[in-house]
Amino acid sequence: MTKITDIKSRLIYNSRGSETIEVDVYVEDIIGTASSPAGASVGKFEAVSFRNSQCNDTIEYLNEYKSHLIGADCSDIFALKNILKDADKTDNYSNIGGSAAYAISLASVDAASQILNKPIYEILLNGKTAEMPLPLGNVLGGGMHAGNGSTDIQEFLSYPLGANSIHSGIQANLLVHKEIKKIIDKKDSKFSGGKGDEGAWAPQLSNTEALEVAQEAIDTVSDAVGFEIRLGLDVASSSLWVPDKELYVYSRENKSRTTEEQISYVLELIEKYNLIYVEDPLHEEAFSDFTELSSKNDNCLIVGDDLFVTNTSILQKGIDQNAGNAVILKVNQAGALGDAMEFANLCNKNNYAIIASHRSGDTVDRHLAHIAIGSGSVMMKSGVVGGERISKINELLRIEETNFIKNNVSMPIARVKKYVS
């Protein structure tokens, strides 16, 4: 019996101290629970988080609206998505709120997991082969996630390319995080240990200095652990783009770049630092520029976050133009879990790599690990330290352990080499 019998919601707080929604979905005496994250860097075309931009308005509306969901099958994420969309009657969940759609659909599949005695990722995979995504960790950063004086580039990321288990991958990222702190302390004896929203170190360094620090730490830890670790970046270019001037403005560098110069700059960084991953190297409407950059690179993931905002229609436009070769998947950008899984299916059909991602304002909700496996993600972007980040990483460890006990064999690791040369 998987029919929803009641839904309850409440206001809670995320890791930035901002209001968000948590939902309980009841199936008789079984309770599934989920809470919604929120981003600081928000794409123009994302689902609207809350009704009237207010969490309490969303909760009030949900209390009136929940009768539409009573009796629905909690295991059918696509039927739930259709019910939510039919009742919302907008393209961006502005009536019910994308955060509510997210939490309802995740809490529903959480309840289904308990009833069916299946992990959530198995329900999402629906018979497809499971692979474990290695963690992509934010180890140093700035931009909208940190204070004044930090880097223009928003995130410097550690990816344990050669790890053969989730545990060794997590450990490598943690070691890189610690090594970066040691290097910063040597450079700046007054560094107080400040961190950004996602737990990455936020020193007052130039972009070039930060790149050198991150690369030095990665090289040191790679030698220590005996496998290759690679550097990645989230440029978050929409926050640098000034439309009126048609320039990317790097205020920390006191430098502006035209589109052509931005493409050249990114290509130089890919080559010099052997980058495995560059997210949002161009602004959120720059499809043709993404296409140009992608055509000049075949050994690095060119990732669209603000470009695609987990939106299937926008993704199809990118596919048609060969814009990028990878996407960020954030369920609450799309709204309901069913929306996000339709997006993932289109990615997998067209060989676009998926990176299931946390958000800067997150909760201790563990479901991202299941979404990452269930969507066929090659990486799980989840930060390195902080309770709201560790909760997702630890769930990957539990899944790895449980799968081994059940099948007496490790779940295979998803490999990025499928998407880059």
Catalytic annotation, pick one of 19, 155, 179, 198: 198
Q: DSSP letter at 277?
A: E
Angle (CA) 224-160-345 rounded to 5° is: 170
Decide if 128 is catalytic: no
Give the separation between CA 37 and CA 53, rounded to whole angstroms. Answer: 14
DSSP string, 121-154: HHHHHTTSPP-BPEEEEEEEE-GGGS-TTS-SS-
Give the separation between CA 325 and CA 304, rounded to whole angstroms. Answer: 8
407-420 burial, b if ≥16 CB within 10 A, otherwise e?
A: eeeebebbebeebb
Q: In 275-336, which ranges are continuous DSSP H helix?
A: 287-295, 312-320, 331-334
Measured CA to CA in angstroms, residue 158 lies from 61, 193, 233, 294, 382 at distances of 41, 19, 9, 22, 11
Give the separation between CA 64 and CA 137, rounded to whole angstroms. Answer: 40
81 with 31: CB under 8 angstroms?
no
Q: Kindly state the tokens that stand for 389.
A: 């980040």
Give the separation between CA 104 and CA 33, rounded to whole angstroms. Answer: 8
Decide if 198 is catalytic: yes
Pairing state of beta strands 326-329 and 301-304?
A: parallel
Of 110, 11, 27, the residue nearest 63 (C-alpha): 11
Measured CA to CA in angstroms, residue 143 lies from 22, 176, 254 at distances of 28, 20, 14
Q: Max alpha carbon distance in the chain (Å)? A: 61
Give the separation between CA 293 and CA 290, rounded to whole angstroms. Answer: 5
- Cα 106 vs. chain centroid, distance in angstroms? 16
Q: Kindly state the tokens that stand for 62.
A: 């949900």
Tracing tokens 């990025």 back to the chain, one arrives at 416
Give the separation between CA 96 and CA 92, rounded to whole angstroms. Answer: 9
Catalytic annotation, pick one of 66, 81, 181, 330: 330
Q: Active-site residue numbers? A: 198, 330
